[in-house]
Structure 1
């Protein structure tokens, strides 16, 4: 690729400084949908200083086309003079551009010798109607032709267009950089009615999904004709087609859910229906509750508590051990249980779920038994006892309205008791910011401590459901008081409420996989619409949803074909180089960090050196080996007729695979993210950073991009994940992933001062709640991610370190920051934004941009921000983690 362009800044008084002639645009005739149709570039000097267009001094071209000239015929001499003038003007533009290139090089050399204090002057020329050259020129001096040609390829033009269309040049980047970098894109991409948020991450995810959809819907290429590939693609397409078959889903209605709930009820009730009182009866009730929970947990349904398999970070981070923790709840966070409006809505949803499941079960029993209404009623009353109302009975025509009203009232009352039960569980749970504290949540204990604290669960029988050959003798409890509180809550709750709680947890989790005409689907959809703020009844494209299900349930299988199509050539090597460059930049910067002493800096450098970098796709299962993939998914169905059962099969497979790691050493080649996902992560116990192929696509990555684009976009993601190794939680793990004090006390104290600074900074940010009020960002919850975002400076330094080796030897700082800022463009419903504040450890995207550059002085220098600008604060107000203040 030839030397690319820079974009002139269009905000008033803020020009993007450039030192070379740039290609800006060609007439676009083959532009992808979604791009703005506005001109690719406007003249930055066309506006007056106050932002109003001036007309008192017409340009030469305006005078040329003025009425006075237009009214008079041009003589041959006049035409000749005009042509000569035009040619001379074009030649002048070319020579000034050439002069500027060499002069910049001379000035750069002079700057290194301390003689670069003369301000440049900005000269702008319009060469043609479709190509605009913008250059910052010093005094002319002899020069040679530029070594690299201007890039006029379609790729360069499209990239230029995408950046320009993202900008809102009416904004001052020094005051509101997020809007400056993203305002154009945000206006061009209003929220779809079926989505609560949509941004650059979601847009790329859609593109990745479309690739997978094409793979699922077209014949396999000859390179994938092995028996294993046929098996894998058969599962993928069977799963996908079962999801697409809405007619069949509607025909089945509530039947799949009713059958599942019936199995759950039989496990929970066993042979006894009376309330336990004697020790033996209590033991029997515990056995039945244990069996019911094991059944749910093995299918991926949260209830009462949660187990996960992870390394023992206090002893051996690679030895996989059992972690006991609190469960997910029906509402997104504890705060929702304190809001009366949400509670009322949630109780209504639970009521609808209770009634719809009960009716479906009765219908299923009636069909299976083939009973008359009278005999069925007698049988079902026995089956449903101690359910607090008799069955509906009949086919619906002979059901009394008063009786139906009575059933609804009883169901509503029972839903209220379930809500009270869940509220108690929420109150007993840790707040999310504490749950992210690795020290507070590492509480190793003998298994007997858990069994004593929670005697209602027979844990050995529970474990046998997952790992019949391995019984742990040690467990990590994230919050020991929760087990004690749960035991007390269970003792104080009736059997019917516990059973109903298990049923509604099942219905909330599984009803999204029913047909949209099913009452349970509509009930849970109401909850989703209220909590996310999407338009009532707005449902997106079914194919998009089904591809998402394939990715979530069979992601590594789908990832094999996604990687083959998108992640070829040198992408993996180029992505890895960006990451390793940033690691080296971080190591170099350690000696200049004001709060870190030499001993801690050396240890931090060793940890950075030891980080395992994973790019593109995992090797366990091996994306390149179809036999590895087929073996990994050997338990998963692909029945084209049964979407619900396919989901359960995939969920069971995931759970059992996780439990099979118990007591073993960590698989260093395994990932938890599938290859097509648009995301990345740092795993502290493994000291590993992972970048799936899904995020190594534009607008985050392209191996042929100029370095300022590559390091500004993908580099910011890479630096974010690296910095997590040294954030408020990551810093507590050493280079082997073990929890221990490896910094000196002085360094830890210095870090905590910086941490307090960034917590305070982000806690002052607010969002609109959609009701006329403001909600503050939780600075404690988001501190780790905010520190991660501060790693942007490492990407900047990594780019500058190889700056002179780049063929783009110009001032590209502004485009570096624009490349960073524009990846966070997101439109979001206010209700969804509030939910994110309460549950998400990431700050709102606006503050991930503006809050980050607030603490990077190089940003203000790049944009020539005044000392009074919002994003150029005094140094004492900045939270600078990775340098001297």
Structure 2
């Protein structure tokens, strides 16, 4: 809108009126009459009447002026509301005055001529600073339209900000049938995949050097192998059967010569015990080295109790097939799981027939199994537990598989029951239990751990390990002793099948079986399968992510993206440090230590330098051990997984690589790593609707600022606060500060535990406030992003980075919060929502928005929420962490 200029409401006439030729015949004018009267001598009565007339004129002019001024103000306010409405309240009041009055005077001259001043209506003045012009560039119009298309103005932002900011987007983006969850994160991930897909399906010009050609060839061959559904259908279950046969052979001990010399005597019971130990060890090492979890898990991470940069071995419970303990007591889910295990056991029972058939169809497919050695007895062991059973007639196969499937599920249910609850698993103090390796080898005597470690060829043999939950280790030993070998073997087989069957053709029984379980757990529509190309790009990202990331950043992460993204983060760190002095529960000593930790945080933005995404040679070396065949998708996944795991094990005993990343450049996510004291932001999330280096800063600090402040705040949340600036576990806060934090955390736990979701069955399930407290505290960091934006506003506005967008009748403060809320839009199947409540440390998206802003008074001020508004609770009911 053009700037308004103050002007009078009537025009002033300077020229005299022209008189006609017949002036003498015209009736006398009012002025002439007044002049005639003025020439006559004034009587006392005339004088009195004249004074009264003048007084009346003066009074009238004043009231007319006041009335005109009020009318003008009302008109300006109506126009202001028209062009700058706030959704629930008027725009911030204008400053300055808007009232002027005109006065009338009577002047007597020596000639006794009376003169009256012209009565003027009030002269209005601007109600504030001249109105700024909005950006009308096409990019600004598109950005404005994207925001407007998200909003649902029928919702009151002071009561339901999540729906106000996202209602229209959710209506326009219904949940796809093939997905259990879809929101702005998934939408951006989909767009990032499309960028990579376009690269993979072209003769990419950037692949000019020999190293680039090598990398690009691997990417294209991997992608091609995944897309070739015809070949996958032709090969069928053969790759999985080959893999399963290897597991069976290793578990049975037939892969090694275990026959004793004739002159060597020994106890048969001890020999059998050793055979079982060797078999279980070999099978587990093989599975774990291919990324298949079973019985327990090892990880390589810093020794946070001694030296966070010294990479140590951590022993922990595994992930289970069903996402959490609760599922093992749900009859409907358990029934589906049993049916799936049974289907897999039956599908893999006739492996010899299948192998022969596939070799006939695909003679070029070479098995790595020796059919003359394996199987040592018919599989599965329907007839018994530990003894080689007789081969069942085909009509008894299903009955045997049914019984074995039930035992497998019961076995895993016992393991899950023995595991630590997920909320307790996040406690870094409780889960740090260093011990000599002998503790593990003596308690869990069924596994030969030195032999197990040799599979991964670490350069340093561990003598000390860290056990996250010692009780699980003891429980596992007892469960293994109580469980027949045939059940353990079937458990290992089904874990392999459930993990690897997604890499088979969709027509195979194994693929369909695992799909049945996924549909039950997530609520995905039966038979609804997404775009194959999108799936295959995702597999390329998962397995060759740093290679794909090299070309991804060249396409989408140019300009000032890295510089501006880094500035947003560093501004938030500054705002956090400034706020420390105003936090009532933090004393001076703890505030100083917190500022030092904030200064010590490593900030990584965009892409890694280890492997160096900008250097083709570095990427080529990183993936040197990954063998890719454009006709073997199943094998490509295994090769990539194995290579990645072996690289990880090579870190054991070494110093942490400070330049390494845990996420690929195209990932739509970010993370804080406590032992490394680093916050990492891949280029994948530095895209709209989270970020653009061309955006006005009130949008960038609202959306990406939330992501950045969230990760920074993790350094001071319920778990992160226990690590000092070097990433070491120690008490670095004073007792009074720790006690103050605990009160704030208790407030957050109580607040979020009151929230609930619909379980899709007519019931409600409450959020686990203990499980989600760390992430909820992380979300409170939004206030630091708001402060960081305010701190840089004047300089930013002067530099042209706070420009207005057309058609958005909101203040910049309001758009800051709208930009924040929009990133959390997400639709979700009820089954998936239930799974998230039980397993995810993040709260449902609705509460990440409404729960967060209800604790930020600046939000209520921006939207002028009434004191009765849902998201404007009284101070005593707010959980305000950061002052």
- TM-score where L is the length of structure 2: 0.82
1:745 correspondence with 2:745: no
Alpha-carbon distance change, 595 to 135 in structure 1, aligned in 2, over 3 angstroms = closer
Alpha-carbon separation, structure 2, partners of 1:630 and 1:789: 38
Alpha-carbon distance change, 354 to 786 in structure 1, aligned in 2, over 3 angstroms = same
Please tell me whether the aligned partners of residues 312 and 319 of structure 1 are also in contact (alpha carbons under 8 angstroms).
yes
1:180 correspondence with 2:168: no
Please tell me whether the aligned partners of residues 459 and 652 of structure 2 are also in contact (alpha carbons under 8 angstroms).
no
Alpha-carbon separation, structure 2, partners of 1:136 and 1:728: 41
Please tell me whether the aligned partners of residues 388 and 410 of structure 1 are also in contact (alpha carbons under 8 angstroms).
yes
Partner of 1:629: 619
- Please report how far the alpha carbon of residue 362 of structure 1 lies from its aligned counterpart in structure 2 after TM superposition: 3.7
Partner of 1:214: 198
Match of 2:143 among 159, 164, 167: 159
Equivalent residues in 2 for 1:195-594, closer than 5 Å: 195-221=179-205, 223-271=206-254, 278-364=269-355, 383-384=377-378, 387-388=381-382, 403-467=393-457, 469-594=459-584
Alpha-carbon separation, structure 2, partners of 1:860 and 1:536: 44
Alpha-carbon distance change, 544 to 378 in structure 1, aligned in 2, over 3 angstroms = closer
Alpha-carbon separation, structure 1, partners of 2:232 and 2:705: 45
Please tell me whether the aligned partners of residues 712 and 817 of structure 1 are also in contact (alpha carbons under 8 angstroms).
yes
Please tell me whether the aligned partners of residues 759 and 780 of structure 1 are also in contact (alpha carbons under 8 angstroms).
yes
Please tell me whether the aligned partners of residues 729 and 784 of structure 1 are also in contact (alpha carbons under 8 angstroms).
yes
- Please report how far the alpha carbon of residue 637 of structure 1 lies from its aligned counterpart in structure 2 after TM superposition: 2.0
- Please report how far the alpha carbon of residue 122 of structure 1 lies from its aligned counterpart in structure 2 after TM superposition: 6.3
Partner of 1:71: none
- Please report how far the alpha carbon of residue 388 of structure 1 lies from its aligned counterpart in structure 2 after TM superposition: 1.3
Alpha-carbon distance change, 273 to 318 in structure 1, aligned in 2, over 3 angstroms = closer
Alpha-carbon separation, structure 2, partners of 1:144 and 1:488: 77
Q: Aligned with 1:311: secondary structure?
A: strand
Matched length: 751
Equivalent residues in 2 for 1:104-123, closer than 5 Å: 123=80
Please tell me whether the aligned partners of residues 199 and 826 of structure 1 are also in contact (alpha carbons under 8 angstroms).
yes
Alpha-carbon distance change, 20 to 483 in structure 1, aligned in 2, over 3 angstroms = farther
Alpha-carbon distance change, 383 to 817 in structure 1, aligned in 2, over 3 angstroms = same
Alpha-carbon separation, structure 2, partners of 1:676 and 1:312: 30
Q: How large is the RMSD of aligned CA atoms in angstroms?
A: 2.8
Match of 2:773 among 758, 772, 783: 783
- Please report how far the alpha carbon of residue 364 of structure 1 lies from its aligned counterpart in structure 2 after TM superposition: 1.0
Q: Aligned with 1:242: secondary structure?
A: helix
Cα deviation 1:615-673 (Å, max 9, x = unaligned): 00000000000000000001112211000000000110111010010000000000010
1:765 correspondence with 2:755: yes
- Please report how far the alpha carbon of residue 698 of structure 1 lies from its aligned counterpart in structure 2 after TM superposition: 0.4
Partner of 2:23: none
Partner of 1:599: 589
Please tell me whether the aligned partners of residues 239 and 637 of structure 1 are also in contact (alpha carbons under 8 angstroms).
no
Alpha-carbon separation, structure 1, partners of 2:657 and 2:352: 43
Please tell me whether the aligned partners of residues 708 and 812 of structure 1 are also in contact (alpha carbons under 8 angstroms).
yes
Cα deviation 1:138-188 (Å, max 9, x = unaligned): 645369996975310111101110111100011000110000000000000
- Please report how far the alpha carbon of residue 806 of structure 1 lies from its aligned counterpart in structure 2 after TM superposition: 2.6
Q: Aligned with 2:298: secondary structure?
A: strand
Structure 1 gap ranges (5+) = 6-18, 22-95, 101-119, 128-133, 371-375, 391-399
Alpha-carbon distance change, 286 to 802 in structure 1, aligned in 2, over 3 angstroms = same
Alpha-carbon separation, structure 2, partners of 1:337 and 1:644: 30
Alpha-carbon separation, structure 2, partners of 1:817 and 1:232: 42
Alpha-carbon separation, structure 2, partners of 1:629 and 1:386: 44
Partner of 1:872: 872
Cα deviation 1:408-442 (Å, max 9, x = unaligned): 11101000000011001001111100111100000
Please tell me whether the aligned partners of residues 458 and 652 of structure 2 are also in contact (alpha carbons under 8 angstroms).
no
Alpha-carbon separation, structure 1, partners of 2:588 and 2:350: 70
Alpha-carbon separation, structure 1, partners of 2:3 and 2:815: 14
Alpha-carbon separation, structure 1, partners of 2:703 and 2:179: 25
Match of 1:191 among 140, 150, 175: 175
Alpha-carbon separation, structure 2, partners of 1:122 and 1:503: 73
Partner of 2:828: 828
Cα deviation 1:364-398 (Å, max 9, x = unaligned): 1577699xxxxx999988532671169xxxxxxxx
1:658 correspondence with 2:615: no
Alpha-carbon distance change, 326 to 385 in structure 1, aligned in 2, over 3 angstroms = same
Alpha-carbon separation, structure 2, partners of 1:665 and 1:345: 46
Q: Aligned with 2:80: secondary structure?
A: strand
Please tell me whether the aligned partners of residues 682 and 689 of structure 1 are also in contact (alpha carbons under 8 angstroms).
yes
The structure with the larger Rg is 2
Alpha-carbon distance change, 124 to 20 in structure 1, aligned in 2, over 3 angstroms = farther
Q: Aligned with 1:802: secondary structure?
A: helix
Please tell me whether the aligned partners of residues 709 and 781 of structure 2 are also in contact (alpha carbons under 8 angstroms).
yes
Please tell me whether the aligned partners of residues 307 and 322 of structure 1 are also in contact (alpha carbons under 8 angstroms).
yes
Equivalent residues in 2 for 1:5-84, closer than 5 Å: none
Cα deviation 1:212-231 (Å, max 9, x = unaligned): 0000000111x421000000
- Please report how far the alpha carbon of residue 469 of structure 1 lies from its aligned counterpart in structure 2 after TM superposition: 3.7
Alpha-carbon separation, structure 2, partners of 1:125 and 1:382: 84
Alpha-carbon separation, structure 1, partners of 2:595 and 2:571: 14
Structure 2 gap ranges (5+) = 5-71, 85-90, 99-123, 260-266, 362-369, 385-390, 805-810
Partner of 2:689: 699
- Please report how far the alpha carbon of residue 355 of structure 1 lies from its aligned counterpart in structure 2 after TM superposition: 0.7
Cα deviation 1:518-547 (Å, max 9, x = unaligned): 100000000001101010000000000000
Please tell me whether the aligned partners of residues 170 and 826 of structure 2 are also in contact (alpha carbons under 8 angstroms).
yes
Please tell me whether the aligned partners of residues 307 and 324 of structure 1 are also in contact (alpha carbons under 8 angstroms).
yes
Alpha-carbon separation, structure 1, partners of 2:129 and 2:462: 73
Alpha-carbon separation, structure 1, partners of 2:213 and 2:803: 50
Partner of 2:16: none
Alpha-carbon separation, structure 1, partners of 2:844 and 2:131: 43
